[in-house]
Amino acid sequence: MTLAENHNRLERALLSLDGLSVGDAFGQMLSTCARSARSVVEKRGLPSGPWWHTDDTQMALAIAEELNAHGQIACDSLALRFVERYRADSGRGYGKGARMQLEQIEAGESWRATSAAAFSGRGSKGNGSAMRSAPLGAWFADEPAQIAPQSTLSSVVTHSHAEGIAGSVAVSLAAAAAWNYRATELGAAREQLWSAVLSQTPVGETLEGIRKARLVPLEMSPENAARILGSGFLVTAPDTVPFALWCATRHLDDYQEAMFATLEGDGDCDTNCAIVGGIVALRTGREGIPDEWLTLREPLNLHLTTH
């Protein structure tokens, strides 16, 4: 890869990372009043800063660093990056399963063993690999054949269940499509996004949920759409990714409205907003993210290798 190609890929990934991290922090800060967040902000203003992000952003930062360092996902290296970030700041809302795996890896166990052993040997079908994968889709937007295999590699370090992998792949594909069709008319861009996701997401519950999401009218309220699709209360990929993709598609041209609409679905608010934000920012550009929100979000502790 040339320096120019690496630069362009990194810029796309960092744009998605901004959208993801602001969404993550925004969703976290307003999660206690999710369905009424819009009216709360209208009456009281935005929460004061800094807006702290969660493990969603921490793990997405590790993926961006891994891609910048190697141009692709090396699972052993990525596992160590996840562990280093967890060790440095474990109070970011990591789920019980993630904490167990990362602590076992830190103690010397192989990520292959810990990931496969999760949930009584079934592997995790949680939404944890989907929440962090939009920047990967942005990175490989100009090499679409690599999106699914690279997203799979980024998932299996912690989520080896087929549904966990499918969630990661679907979000990566959506992010790449948001970038690749950013200059396309909105209606056509929405169709291209759905087609890209449906064409390569592995068969299973998550894919079936996405098929259902495509049929949910965009005029429906997010609250009702969440009742149909799920919005992450189960913290699984099938219960999270379809609704997040519906929200991203519904407001592909409007980052701020996408965030409020996503919160109206309640559920796993920070993760839902992280997924949606990481996708939508790739169409709106950084200028689509409100400047005040970017300022309120805590600075990102990103370590990039110079080339």
Tokens of 98: 């993630």
Q: What is the pLDDT of residue 6?
A: 84
180-205: pLDDT as tens digits: 999 999 999 999 999 999 999 999 99
Q: What is the pLDDT of residue 1?
A: 67
Q: What is the distance between the alpha carbons of residues 293 and 289, in angstroms, rounded to a whole number?
A: 7
Q: What is the distance between the alpha carbons of residues 301 and 126, in angstroms, rounded to a whole number?
A: 25
Where do we find the tokens 């290798």? 305
38-70: pLDDT as tens digits: 999 999 999 999 999 999 999 999 999 999 999
Domains in the chain and their CATH numbers? 3-296 (1.10.4080.10)
Q: Is 251 helix (H, G, I), strand (E, B) or coil?
A: coil
- pLDDT over threshold 80, residue 118: yes
Q: Is the pTM of this model over 0.95?
A: yes
1-10: pLDDT as tens digits: 677 788 899 9
249-289: pLDDT as tens digits: 999 999 999 999 999 999 999 999 999 999 999 999 999 99
Tokens of 293: 């929100």
